[in-house]
Structure 1
């Protein structure tokens, strides 16, 4: 650490909590990566929670002359969110939003995920304009600071054009709120020199008619190369110029602490078509026609997919049949989406576009479909392009996703010449696709940076791309991914000296000492794009395909507590590299010491990261592998053979705990994060022991009812009733005759043994369960009802792996209740409000939709907080309770004040949800039992 950073750190510790300041090797390594192919290790990482903290951070940065980079989600693709100085990561304090004027506007903090903003707007039929592919992970601060766009956004609905107002902190600590007249008036006085400087630059640009027209033309394309100097022409007031220069400035001019957007309509009626052409030029001419017709014909997205891309995904399951047509080197297809405010209007749009396309003689067209599954199969083509490169690349290579924009009339030439550059430089795996309406093309390829020759090859390729796009076509080297480090050395080439000098003066006006994200956008280093390239050494087959994009992070309960899946992979790659090299013994020891708790022990291992990962990586599987085999295999085997005894003992323990007082025991067993105690945490909302299971049977259709060991142990409510009682009530009411498997009170799905890596105990428990379920179901003739979501997921997985008989008709609770029970019942009572938690196991099984429909049928207003995984994770809610607490930290604020009831379909999840949500969470069976009666004669 430099002396300046040491002094900065000393002062910072006087004003910020120590728990949010990181200087240890594991933290700076983990935070030193973003989604780009660059890595810098910050000297200090600090998590900021408020505007006041940012202002203090900037004061100290000026005092000690240290550079600061801000990061929101870290999904940036061009290296704009990494630093070798101070990295300021946005905390929960910036995760806020408020819908205004009936959804016409929305005020957002920079820490809110874009998709969450859209979820707030959904009831109003509105959305924010920017729609980047990373919207489920990317945060508003990054979306605005990069002027991100997307498939439907175009150039009209991006942050620049839909921003109503913003609040920004400048390097000197001054806050400007453009929506507050008093703030603006004070700023005009305090920063008259800055505003005069912008006004002078505006006059200079406007006074050069040729350059001014070129600026206007280039911003009719998508363009995020350099600063948005179109703001100097689009506005007369320097305050408006300043606000719009902040959009796309990538944290190099100031910190956006709040932004208000004008929203756009989210038309509910949609149709998609896939259209294959055997001639690229005709395909691109069709794009030009679609672009001209977009306003009048409901065209919201047109994706161009080149022949390389089509061939890369041909043969993969789930794609439409027309993709199996032979494709030549000049083939291409268009994926088109139409949207309208009504079905009738959508009919008109579809017919008009079909007529338009016919003029360009497509080889084959799917026609426009509104069927959700069919449309999903079309879009699976587009979604499969990144994995086609990312998953198949050689170990040690990285994935580069670049994006350029050509004038739409030159799109065909641009595609052909870019493809020729891939071949020239030997990037034969490269795929080309993009948002064709705006001439925006993405290309994905997998360079290796392990040798000087490979770095030189990449440099030669980038030089050629720059000459082609910026030189030959005067297009955009960066259309929507931001300039970052990768294109900063080429900004001058694209724009020329006059525009470049204006951009340099803008940077000097806001940041004369170059302390805000140095090297990004403006640089004199012509080789910056070749420095600090991220190593991607082999770590483990389970995670070697990871591109470190960060899409996994919102689904991870430990993200922000210890490490995220991305950070686990980054650190493990480094550990393995140090082990192989035999160097850095001290660093290796420190990384390993921290990794045991921060990576392995606090991983929920639920696999939710895999549901968000473009290449399907389950980082939890690696953590389980590193955990090693069970340390007590004999005890696990005993438990598997004597499950009846184990559950009986657990019920006795629950009774004793309640006699002693659950709240008293909770106080005695609390711990600090990372602290180890022999006795697990006793939750204040500890469930009571379950009553004996009721007798099944009755008249009707047979169904085998497997009551999980957790539901045989833990009661459903304060009275001690079991989930089984509610389940049997429902099944009988719907005309079913439930039957327990033989020896039911000694059966287990095997999940506890799988979590402990006790392979023999797992095999034994699953074998016993298989035999019992076969007997109870008549060798698979009757369905099997699995009553606890994690257990159902384990049993279904075992069947998929061939460990359970394929004849078994396995149903999770939500699936069976939605498909076979609720249609036979009538909802007679509804709750005014209800909170729903969808367990990660339900998401994994595809049961989320069924569970949501069931819950919605029982209430007037349903709230579904965005919590992908509650972090209870089997027994970790007892042994690592900080994981559960961290994951559910936003639960209570997300619940309406008048909400009194919650529902889920995992008994252990319900413990943590009740503890941290402040309302009782019950099973979906208990809810439906309360709300239904038979719909006809019994």
Structure 2
């Protein structure tokens, strides 16, 4: 008889015959990192498997079934109720599960479970359609989780959730059976071969419909938002077994089977939008206003109590009145949409009419401004993590997701608030989708101190009784049952409906191997077990609640770790280190292994681009944590950094010499020969000498900076500071654009009528970013001060604008240079200073644009695309390509990061003549993995323009 440990090892050995070892993960670092989700539970999987197709997934299921090993499916891991964690086998969806197909002119869309929700809407945008579900995490969560949890959201309600908008699914059941409900042949075969399951579902449906009290209870429960338990409404909505199966899969949280494809009926995306923050004197008045709006032409009504407003009142752009609201006040965020302006105005007037009879603290004013509209929604969507950010270090944050019948919303809210205060949770905040009676209560919770678990249990017992029984509401309106509410499903639904759910589970999964203890559990204290520790690790990241919003923009997300996962491991190492002498031998060995593995997975493959901060509701930049670690680890190299910084012009000359040597080797040996020689040198040096790559450019001709220029008092002056990257890297080999960025920039500035000033000692100058990213903070500060001094002289203390040709450098300069200096990168400078001086004739070309991470940080995306559109016939912005991962020199020393970040780029740009960006080092990696030359955006502008005088 095999022991459990042997069973997992046997499974891995079996799967190695059909899968790469890289996709079968059982080391301590990655099992913990990949096994963590957004909930407050922690289970560490014994094996993480990353199948890339259905056949591999079926092999995993077969192997688990043969060994009686439980298995859990994981998409993005943004789930909040513990439905995506396991201590057994975790199937994680990554590569291979991102397929999509538009159907019926956009009226439907077929999606694989690894597609991010926002990506689906991006695909549908040209058709003015979208998917119905719109959870707050839609920019991060995946279709698999949206369907498996029946996630809804702000505007979705109960009419447009996955249950109501699913057209078809392709599903794999516990025994490996496949069913495609869109395929009549598949349906027929399934109905014949699995008659017991189909007939069993039809029998349960008939019995349920004949049981009128139970049927009416089900109808009542699904008039509300409800994700507690299985979708019993499928038993009264349908009588065909396959239709019942299809709809039972929605919201089943991976406990009945695996949804490998789902086809949604899409809904109209009304493009004309307006929003208002309406302030009311107290919660009762707010709830009454919500009831009045139930029949109004609104898309969403979001309720926020005073505590919720207080948590965001200091955010940039928020109305000043927030800080002056009385203690009991509350707000409604009202969203109104229309297909055109006239329809929008008509609906706005209808809403204004409703408020004529309602006392508000401020006049009801709707904004049409896109920036303000998006700010309101960004604040609302970030409330849960924002509350988590102000909790005490070491505590977690709990979010409860309940729904009341709308007609009893006001009394339900007051009763629930009283419960929270009675159990010692006065800091709880309240917000939610008020039109559906769906409210979220969020509060910090520690579990380490004596009595805290018992206090939490007493609270949950009373909340469950109040909402589920006394008010006939739902304990989980949209976040899924998970482990969090599994012990209370019977209390809410009653013994008869609960028994029905177990019958469904047994029909699908008689061995209880699919996500056991999720939705249904015999363990009454399940929700109090396996609680996640959140120890202090570093003030930079201690406020993280591990929501996962950051993950989809991280360039290393498919290679090693994401920002959330880097924080998870940093916390675990801090927890183990805090035990000191209390560590046993096994834990001490685990800590040492984590430290060793984190060097590569956490540090060396982190691009420190800070894009994670742009998605984090509380602005955590995990790159800062990694830079601090590098600073500590590389402190002994400070003298070397100082020598490099003090002799920087010599360093760049050496770099150009190496490029010239590579060009000579290329000419003599050819690309293949040079690649072999370079590979041998790299291997012999232990990776210290980077591998040559075909897109490594020629050396830049810095002599162009020294050419004499005649002063012309009639011309406006501009200071041009070429970055160290453009002083080293010239044009690409074989590229039709044979000029360096410096030559292009000087040509363009001359054409636009500027007199160019190049700072003295330009060859020695550097903004310091290259040192900062490696943790050499002192030398980074020194170089920034040098640059600041020379730019002040060149610009006459900020009298003239300054152009630097590399976007990441400009982002680094912000906040580090004298405030009198106005430094802009290529896109901003072209938009603000060049377009008005040039005549444009768009080129008859299809071009790609890469948005660098710095462009995203500086909000230049729209301007960059507009600039390219003014210069070319067609512009392509590749989807799901964020930071390229080249990260200064990472593309040379850790090329796999660049390769992973740009996976899929070539297929999106293969019909483009060229690509354009605003960072020379990024363009090297983009050219390699895109298969087309990438150049500076200034090159495109120069080729498409003439000076006004020449015209």
Give your verdict on TM over 0.5: yes
Q: Deviations over 1:91-111 (max 9, x none)?
A: 210111111222111111111
Q: 1:640 aligns with which of 645, 658, 668?
A: 645
Question: Do the aligned partners of 2:695 and 2:732 also contact (CA within 8 Å) in 1?
Answer: no
Match of 1:287 among 287, 290, 295: 290
- Give yes or no for contact 1:111–1:141 (8 Å, CA) kept in 2: yes
Cα gap change, 1:184 to 1:716, in 2 (>3 Å): same
Give how far 1:674 is off. Answer: 15
Q: What is the correspondence of 1:142-291 to structure 2 with a 5 Å cutoff? A: 142-291=145-294
Summarize the Cα distance change of 1:279–1:573 in structure 2 as closer, same or farther, 3 Å threshold: closer
1:815 is matched with which residue? 828
Maintained 8 Å contact 1:283/1:360: no
**Correspondent of 1:851 among 853, 864, 867:** 864
- Pair 1:310-2:315 in alignment: no
Structure 1 counterpart of 2:566: 568
1:422–1:716: structure 2 CA closer, same or farther, 3 Å change rule? Answer: farther
Q: Could you say which residue in structure 2 is the equivalent of 1:786?
A: 804
> Residue 905 of structure 1 contacts residue 923 of structure 1 at CA under 8 Å; is this kept in 2?
yes
Distance 1:352 1:99 in 2: 35
Counterparts of residues 325-336 of structure 1 (less than 5 Å): 325-329=324-328, 331-336=329-334
TM-superposed deviation, 1:13: 2.2
1:317: how far off? 3.5
- Selected match of 2:854 from 808, 818, 841: 841
The answer for the alignment partner of 2:665 in structure 1 is: 660
| 1:58 and 2:66 correspond | no
CA contact (8 A) 2:688 2:893 kept: no
Measure, in 1, the Cα distance between the counterparts of 2:365 and 2:521: 49
- Do the aligned partners of 1:288 and 1:437 also contact (CA within 8 Å) in 2? yes
Shift of 1:937: 6.3
Corresponding position of 1:921: 934
Over 3 Å counting, the alpha-carbon distance change for 1:787 and 1:354 in structure 2 is same
Deviation at residue 856 of structure 1 after TM alignment: 2.3
1:397 aligns with 2:395: yes
Distance 1:788 1:67 in 2: 51
Distance 1:879 1:375, change over 3 A: same
Cα distance per residue 1:48-82 (max 9 Å; x no partner): 11000111111111111111101011111000000
Within the candidate set 930, 934, 938, 2:947 is matched to 934
Deviation (angstroms), 1:547: 0.7
1:679 maps onto 2:689 in alignment: yes
Instruction: Call closer, same or farther: CA 1:114–1:315 in 2, change over 3 Å.
Output: closer
Q: Is the 8 A contact 2:352 2:364 kept in 1?
A: no
The C-alpha deviation readout for 1:238-284, integer Å capped at 9, x for no partner, is: 10000010000000000000011111111111011111111322321
Q: CA deviation at 1:185?
A: 0.5
Report which stretch shifted further, 738-747 or 130-139.
Answer: 738-747
Q: Which residue of structure 1 lines up, in the alignment, with residue 749 of structure 2?
A: 731
Distance 1:399 1:767 in 2: 42
- Do the aligned partners of 2:629 and 2:775 also contact (CA within 8 Å) in 1? no
Please state whether the residue corresponding to 1:94 is helix, strand or coil: coil
Cα displacement string for residues 514-550 of structure 1 (whole angstroms, at most 9, x for unaligned residues)? 0000000011111000010101111111111111111
Q: Which of 775, 779, 789 pairs up with 1:757?
A: 775
Given the alignment of the two structures, is residue 903 of structure 1 paired with residue 916 of structure 2, yes or no? yes
Structure 1 contact 597–674 (Cα < 8 Å) conserved: no
Deviation string, structure 1 residues 148-187 (Cα, Å, up to 9, x no partner): 1110111111111111111000111111000000000100
Q: Are residues 1:892 and 2:906 paired?
A: yes
Instruction: Return the offset for 1:314.
Output: 3.1
The yes-or-no answer on 1:501 pairing with 2:516 is no
Structure 1 stretch 391-400 or stretch 815-824: which is displaced more?
A: 815-824
Q: Is the 8 A contact 2:627 2:772 kept in 1?
A: no
**CA distance in structure 2 between the partners assigned to 1:763 and 1:611 by the alignment:** 24
Are the equivalent residues in 2 in contact too, given 1:319–1:380 (CA < 8 A)?
no
Aligned position for 1:133 = 136
* 2: CA distance, partners of 1:794 / 1:827: 31
Q: Which stretch of the first structure deviates more once superposed, 492-501 or 638-647?
A: 638-647
Residue of structure 1 equivalent to 2:721: 706
1-structure distance, mates of 2:275, 2:110: 32
Structure 2 counterparts to residues 160-559 of structure 1, below 5 A: 160-293=163-296, 297=297, 299-329=298-328, 331-379=329-377, 381-383=379-381, 385-559=383-557
CA contact (8 A) 1:320 1:377 kept: no
Question: Shift of residue 125 of structure 1?
Answer: 1.1
1:700–1:732: 8 Å Cα contact kept in structure 2? no
Match of 1:690 in 2: 700
Instruction: Give the 3-state SS of the residue equivalent to 2:132 in structure 1.
Output: coil
* TM-score calculated relative to the size of structure 2: 0.95
Alignment of 1:609 with 2:612, yes or no, is: yes
Q: Does 1:81 align with 2:84?
A: yes
Structure 1 residues 538 and 324: CA distance shift in structure 2, 3 A: closer
Deviation at 1:383, TM superposition (A): 4.2
Partner of 2:575: 577
Q: Is the 8 A contact 2:132 2:165 kept in 1?
A: yes
Paired residues of 2:386 and 2:617 also in contact (CA < 8 A): no
Q: Any unmatched runs of 5+ in structure 1?
A: 799-803
Report if aligned partners of 2:135, 2:153 keep a CA contact under 8 Å in 1. yes
Aligned mates of 1:206, 1:935 — CA distance in 2? 78
The answer (yes or no) to whether the contact 1:716–1:923 under 8 Å persists in 2 is no
- CA change 1:20–1:387 in 2 (3 A) is closer
Q: 1:74 to 1:652 in 2, by over 3 A?
A: same
The 1:360–1:786 alpha-carbon spacing in structure 2 relative to 1, beyond 3 Å, is same
Moved more, 314-323 or 225-234: 314-323
Q: Secondary structure at the match of 1:693?
A: helix
Counterpart in 2 of 1:801?
none
Tell me if structure 2 keeps the 8 A contact 1:311–1:327. Answer: no
What RMSD, in angstroms, separates the aligned Cα atoms of the two structures?
1.8
In 1, Cα distance between equivalents of 2:500 and 2:676: 63
State how far apart, in whole Å, the 1-side matches of 2:89 and 2:904 are.
27
- Aligned 8 A contact 1:166 1:243 in 2: yes
User: Do the aligned partners of 2:840 and 2:870 also contact (CA within 8 Å) in 1?
Assistant: yes
Could you tell me the TM-score, scaled by structure 1's length? 0.96
Could you list the runs of 5+ residues in structure 2 that have no partner in the other structure?
none
Deviation at 1:322, TM superposition (A): 3.2
Equivalent pair of 1:305/1:434 in contact (CA under 8 Å):
yes
Q: CA deviation at 1:842?
A: 1.4
CA shift, 1:316, in A, is: 4.0
Task: Please give the secondary structure, in 1, of the residue aligned with 2:401.
Answer: strand
Structure 2 Cα separation of the partners of residues 664 and 413 of structure 1:
78
State the partner residue of 1:26: 29
- Tell me the distance in 2 between the aligned counterparts of 1:763 and 1:644: 17
**Contact 1:689/1:720, CA 8 A, preserved across alignment:** no
Q: Which moved more, 1:478-487 or 1:708-717?
A: 708-717
Deviations 1:624-671 (A, max 9, x none): 111224543333222222222222221121111011015533344459
In structure 2, the CA distance between the partners of 1:284 and 1:717, relative to structure 1 (3 Å rule), is same
After superposition, residues 790-805 of structure 1 pair within 5 angstroms as 790-798=808-816, 804-805=817-818
Residue 446 to residue 206, structure 1, CA distance change in 2 (3 Å): same
- Which stretch of structure 1 is more off in the superposition, 376-385 or 602-611? 376-385
Distance in 2, matches of 1:504 and 1:292, equals 38
Which secondary structure state, in structure 2, belongs to the residue aligned with residue 93 of structure 1?
Answer: coil
For residues 670 and 523 of structure 1, the distance between their equivalents in structure 2, rounded to whole angstroms, comes to 56
- Is residue 2:836 matched to residue 1:829? no
